[in-house]
Structure 1
Amino acid sequence: MRLTLRLLSSVVQRRPFYVTTPIFYVNAAPHLGHLYSAVVADTIQRFEKLVDPDCEVIFSTGTDEHGTKIQQAAANAVLSPAEYCSKISAEYRDLFKDYDVEYTDYIRTTEDRHKRAVRHFWNKLLEKDYIYKSQYSGWYSVNDEAFVPEAHVRDEVRNGQTVKVSAESGHKVEWTEETNYMFRLSAFKSHLQEWLKNDGVITPNKFQKQLQDLLENETYFPDISISRPSSRVHWAIRVPGDEDQSIYVWLDALINYLTVIGYPDNDAMLKKGRPWPADVQVVGKDILKFHGIYWPAFLMAINWHPPRRLVCHSHWTVDGSKMSKSLGNVVCPRATPVSPSALRYMLLREATMHDDANYSESKAVNIANSELADTLGNLASRCCGAALNPRGEFPPLHTHELAALEQDVSAQLMDHVERLHEVCYGHYRNYQFYKVADAVIRTLHLANVFFECHKPWELRKKLDGQKELDVVLHITMETLRICGIVLQPIIPDLSNKLLNKLQIPLDCRSWQHCEKPSWRIEGAIYETKNILSGKFVLFQRIYVDKKQKKKASA
């Protein structure tokens, strides 16, 4: 009886899956890189729910709203810091809504619940003697909101003058001397090295290796300043008991991941299922040091575990150049010529995590037209259209006619469809979303070859061709069904539209439902069923040239 109760308790107290984006700094409007971080995290959480529909997910995102850069940006916008933060934070919310980023919690660092969490965390560090006050001097980057070690500063000529810049970010630094509170980061070097020995805590592995190499450098690892004079940084959370000091914006920001789960309220955390350590935290490579060195050290200092995994992605360049305000090439997602579904697809289709990806408008349009409109959309329209499918059915599969099909193209397509779930499962688990898209598109290319080879428009005219036509349409639509399920985490809107057209019930769209195609289910009775009636265009082809559009419609 006791064992039964214990097992029941473990089921009831099952941990939710906790995934986070970084919180986004509101010194400017959101751009393509911010959106990419968000859709990566969203794809991860959607896949978890696809594999396990009973899985509870906590997916947090939000905005980081304190610091010197916010003060400056608000002043430039002729707004109070609070008004400015609310304005930019709302832009992120709207963007994520447009791009189907289904977060469960949106956190702002100006919220009272967060300020309470930060002060409590500070006091915990203080109790454990990991905070001390000291005179600090060093190179400081306003853009990075961080002190930069001497070894990471270089000279650079700009506008005919030699200036000091951060070797990591390229941002200008200035010499600063002030009294700050310090965190004993040096006490955690060996602990961090031990943590980083675990395979997969940082993925891709090249970023884990970067952190390991960083820790080998003795000169890099001093204690760090975790406060600023409030006279200089007034838009920030004050240090508990010391109004003359403001808490360092990065310490403040990192605590958001705990605020979301109810920290420091034990009852609130219990209601959330105690989802710590976080399962996956998505970060860009520019903030890896803060999440892969500072963050785990802060957590270790209060005896909490570091996150289970950091998924670190590279950056987006534009036409081969780094996005920069000075170059005027920062991409606003809403200003692109493609729809949200198409841009979301392109971002996940093109980026590899390991290396920087390149954005261009022509590439976005070409991928959308080639893969979403032609390869996927056109195939769906043809097999669902009245010309070939006047009965509007997902037709039955006839065993005799299936065996009689032209074997080379049929066997190749069916083999790809049968293996697609296994291939894509591995790619999803390794966060290689571009490989998922590639595997699906390859399968759909084969489906188009299969369709053309069997000429269903001719079968439609044959007096005895209905059963063979049924089989061709069935295999094509079954391929579309499985591809639609697989693509749900990447392009949820288009996938749902496709599955709705095929009248696939909502409770038949989980990962298990793509593991076996219909022709591999022993003893199944394939009953004819209707698909959704009406003209069907899954994805409207994009025309950026009016002459091109006019020519296509002629």
Structure 2
Amino acid sequence: MRLNIRLLSSAVQKRPFYVTTPIFYVNAAPHLGHLYSAVVADAIQRFEKLTNPDCNVIFSTGTDEHGTKIQQAAAKANLPLPDYCTKLSDEYRTLFREFNVDFTDYVRTTEKRHKVAVKHFWNKLVKKDYIYKAKYSGWYSVNDESFVPEAHTREDVINGEKVKVSVESGHPVEWTEETNYMFRLSAFKTHLQEWLSKDGVITPSKFQKQLQELLENEVYFPDISVSRPSSRVHWAIRVPNDEEQSIYVWLDALINYLTVIGYPDEEAMISRGRPWPADVHVVGKDILKFHGIYWPAFLMAINWHPPRRLVCHAHWTVDGTKMSKSRRNVVHPRATPAPPAALRYLLLREATMATDANYSETKLINVANSELADTLGNLASRCCGAALNPRQEFPPLHVKELADCKQSEVTAQLLDCVERLPGK
């Protein structure tokens, strides 16, 4: 496995080890890329448990359920917004359980506890004078739920028509003029550069360099819009004391990492061991800017530390082609021709974090057969064989370790199978 998990392990833990996935947008069913983020985070927390058995791990995941795309998806599915969000969120939760993603916390942005956290965070930004109201105009991408600077757009041809698109995502943008609340991002350029100068704060290093170059090349580092008119984005958390404005879905979503640890309830955070700053945020490269620029700046604004590390991964292609719904080549994990353990193995074995990995059913089947069934199966068979163990003696399991192992349902089932092997 090429992911260097050892670098992410903490030598001594006096507080919980806190690792997160992004929260996943419920405008569509989960696909291979979502599962990959979750499996990477799961591998990190499992390694932490192996190397530091006494450590308490908090591993959070969940779903992002506000915004224009959710409104559109619910309408297309002909479902009320709350029902649609619950249905899709349950799909993510069930999928992760099926693939043994051993999360401890699952958060949804439509939960009351999250709304409380978001409004408290907003009020802190207002109190610190980092939010102000202004007329705003610019190119807006509905798909990305964000404004795109002019310099980051280009002309493209879609369905025979010339349209403006985002250079980063390739999604269409539309010119929008409206009154919004703005966040003074410009005040944090130097602070962000200092944070990004620390070795290993973004892994792999190529993504850290991308963010550093972004900050260096921006002659004018603009403030960002952090609200939308609620008449346009009604499925969102309202700005405190202003029902005509909805909080920007990315500001809303990023605060989930604080919601999980009990923010803003001081006693709740103490009871969880004050696990901030987060040890590892696992993110895909398409959301690096939000986690590597916006999120640290938001935290700095309320005098909280940025996360200790972002682990950023590249994407998965399918038979050498970018995965997309329009090409109808999105890989749904349950539909793959191998059991969950084999797909998990392929995801961690095949991908290098810095470059896109390619999925094919042929590769999955070949790897499952040759490396799992044949190589590992043969190793297990030889280790138990009469040539190495002529008297067929096996040491008993330690009672304490056995009891600890059986706390996990998956491990308990595996041990049960092992204990029944001699009879078969």
Q: Scaled by the length of structure 1, what TM-score is found?
A: 0.70
Q: Which runs of 5+ in 1 are unaligned?
A: 1-12, 396-487, 504-530, 536-554
* SS of residue paired to 2:213: helix
Which residue number corresponds to residue 358 of structure 1?
358
* Cα deviation 1:467-515 (Å, max 9, x = unaligned): xxxxxxxxxxxxxxxxxxxxx9xxx969984x77777xxxxxxxxxxxx
Q: Output the CA distance in 2 between the equivalents of 1:501 and 1:332.
A: 29
Return closer, same or farther for 1:155/1:87 CA change in 2, 3 Å cut-off. Answer: same
Which residue number corresponds to residue 327 of structure 1?
327
Question: Structure 1 stretch 269-278 or stretch 216-225: which is displaced more?
Answer: 216-225
Give how far 1:24 is off. Answer: 0.2
Structure showing the higher helix proportion among its residues: 1
Which residue number corresponds to residue 81 of structure 2?
81
Give how far 1:220 is off. Answer: 5.8
Residue identity (%)? 80
Q: How does 1:484-499 map to 2 (within 5 A)?
A: 497=414
Which residue number corresponds to residue 202 of structure 1?
202
One-letter amino acid of the structure 2 residue matched with residue 177 of structure 1: E
Which residue number corresponds to residue 19 of structure 1?
19
One-letter amino acid of the structure 2 residue matched with residue 56 of structure 1: N
Q: Output the CA distance in 2 between the equivalents of 1:160 and 1:108.
A: 39
Give how far 1:533 is off. Answer: 1.2
Question: Structure 1 stretch 55-64 or stretch 153-162: which is displaced more?
Answer: 153-162
Which residue number corresponds to residue 58 of structure 1?
58
* SS of residue paired to 1:102: coil
One-letter amino acid of the structure 2 residue matched with residue 323 of structure 1: M
Which residue number corresponds to residue 48 of structure 1?
48
Question: Structure 1 stretch 216-225 or stretch 154-163: which is displaced more?
Answer: 216-225
Q: How does 1:357-436 map to 2 (within 5 A)?
A: 357-384=357-384, 392-394=392-394
Give how far 1:219 is off. Answer: 4.2
Which residue number corresponds to residue 422 of structure 2?
533
Q: Output the CA distance in 2 between the equivalents of 1:387 and 1:94.
A: 44
Return closer, same or farther for 1:493/1:145 CA change in 2, 3 Å cut-off. Answer: same
Which residue number corresponds to residue 71 of structure 1?
71
One-letter amino acid of the structure 2 residue matched with residue 290 of structure 1: F
Q: Output the CA distance in 2 between the equivalents of 1:262 and 1:201.
A: 25
Q: Output the CA distance in 2 between the equivalents of 1:386 and 1:72.
A: 64
Give how far 1:279 is off. Answer: 0.4
Question: Is 2:39 the partner of 1:39?
Answer: yes
One-letter amino acid of the structure 2 residue matched with residue 67 of structure 1: G
Which residue number corresponds to residue 152 of structure 2?
152
Q: Output the CA distance in 2 between the equivalents of 1:85 and 1:367.
A: 36
Contact conserved, 1:24 with 1:63, CA < 8 A, in 2?
A: yes
Contact conserved, 1:58 with 1:104, CA < 8 A, in 2?
A: yes
Q: Output the CA distance in 1 between the equivalents of 2:383 and 2:51.
A: 28
Give me the CA root mean square deviation.
Answer: 2.2
* Cα deviation 1:16-44 (Å, max 9, x = unaligned): 00000000000000000000000100110
One-letter amino acid of the structure 2 residue matched with residue 264 of structure 1: P
Q: Output the CA distance in 1 between the equivalents of 2:135 and 2:155.
A: 26
One-letter amino acid of the structure 1 residue matched with residue 168 of structure 2: E
Q: Output the CA distance in 2 between the equivalents of 1:502 and 1:145.
A: 50
Which residue number corresponds to residue 182 of structure 1?
182
The structure whose Rg is larger is: 1
Give how far 1:379 is off. Answer: 2.8
One-letter amino acid of the structure 2 residue matched with residue 54 of structure 1: D
* SS of residue paired to 1:327: coil
Give how far 1:298 is off. Answer: 0.0
Give how far 1:310 is off. Answer: 0.3
Which residue number corresponds to residue 341 of structure 1?
341
Return closer, same or farther for 1:349/1:534 CA change in 2, 3 Å cut-off. Answer: farther
Which residue number corresponds to residue 118 of structure 2?
118
Structure with greater contact order relative to length (CA < 8 Å, sep ≥ 6): 2
Which residue number corresponds to residue 170 of structure 1?
170
* SS of residue paired to 1:325: coil
Return closer, same or farther for 1:501/1:51 CA change in 2, 3 Å cut-off. Answer: farther
Return closer, same or farther for 1:310/1:340 CA change in 2, 3 Å cut-off. Answer: same
Which residue number corresponds to residue 5 of structure 2?
none
* Cα deviation 1:134-190 (Å, max 9, x = unaligned): 000000000000000000000001222110000000000000000000000000000
Q: Output the CA distance in 1 between the equivalents of 2:341 and 2:412.
A: 10
* SS of residue paired to 1:170: coil
Give how far 1:390 is off. Answer: 7.9
Give how far 1:81 is off. Answer: 0.9
Q: How does 1:218-257 map to 2 (within 5 A)?
A: 218-219=218-219, 221-257=221-257
* SS of residue paired to 1:394: coil
* Cα deviation 1:224-262 (Å, max 9, x = unaligned): 000000000000000000000000000000000000000
Structure showing the higher strand proportion among its residues: 2
Q: Output the CA distance in 2 between the equivalents of 1:124 and 1:16.
A: 26
Question: Is 2:194 the partner of 1:305?
Answer: no
Contact conserved, 1:149 with 1:220, CA < 8 A, in 2?
A: no
Q: Output the CA distance in 1 between the equivalents of 2:158 and 2:197.
A: 41
Give how far 1:534 is off. Answer: 3.5
Which residue number corresponds to residue 262 of structure 2?
262
Q: Scaled by the length of structure 2, what TM-score is found?
A: 0.91
Q: Which runs of 5+ in 2 are unaligned?
A: 1-12, 396-404
One-letter amino acid of the structure 2 residue matched with residue 322 of structure 1: K
